[in-house]
Amino acid sequence: MATQNLTEPLKDGTFVRIRLSGYHRARIAECLGPLGPKGARIYRVLVQGKPRRVYIEVREDQIEVLEDATRESISPHATGAKPGGSRQEGSNIGESGPS
């Protein structure tokens, strides 16, 4: 979905795709305001590439909001969950179940 018809600016942290670029996913760092041609909003976008992070400034018509960005994603570290999944306490990997 193109963002050119939005009345409100995109929120910081929204995941987007930069059209006609090689970047699959980026995050809005900040909205710089209507600095573009004919008052188009300019966004500073954070592309997390290795080995360094790259910031790019793009017009609002050059980005698309990703569908998974509308759902809140909670990292397992924020909830205190362990990265191994939801294993029951006291279960061992080597134990075999009832035969």
* Residue 25 lies inside a defined structural domain of this protein: yes
Phi/psi for 2 (5° steps) reads -75, 150
Tell me the pLDDT of the chain (99 aa) as tens digits: 454 455 788 999 999 999 998 888 999 999 999 999 999 999 999 997 778 889 999 999 999 999 875 554 434 444 444 555 545 555 555 555 565
Query: Quick one: residue 45, left, alpha or beta (phi over 0 = left, psi -120 to 50 = alpha)?
Result: beta
Distance, in Å, from the CA atom of 88 to the CA atom of 52, rounded to the nearest integer, reads: 39
* Residue 54 lies inside a defined structural domain of this protein: yes
* Residue 27 lies inside a defined structural domain of this protein: yes
* Residue 40 lies inside a defined structural domain of this protein: yes
pTM for this prediction: 0.61
Report the half-sphere exposure of 71 (CA within 13 A, side-chain side). Answer: 5
Structural domain for 43, as ranges: 1-69
* Residue 96 lies inside a defined structural domain of this protein: no
Q: What is the pLDDT of residue 57?
A: 95
* Residue 88 lies inside a defined structural domain of this protein: no
Would you mind telling me the total number of residues written for the chain in this entry?
Answer: 99
The amino acid occupying position 40 is A
- The number of distinct structural domains making up the chain is 1
* Residue 60 lies inside a defined structural domain of this protein: yes
* Residue 76 lies inside a defined structural domain of this protein: no
The amino acid occupying position 54 is V
Distance, in Å, from the CA atom of 57 to the CA atom of 28, rounded to the nearest integer, reads: 10
* 80 Cβ contact list (under 8 Å, min separation 6): none
Tokens encoding 16: 């987007």
Identify the CATH number of the domain in which residue 35 sits.
Answer: 2.30.30.390
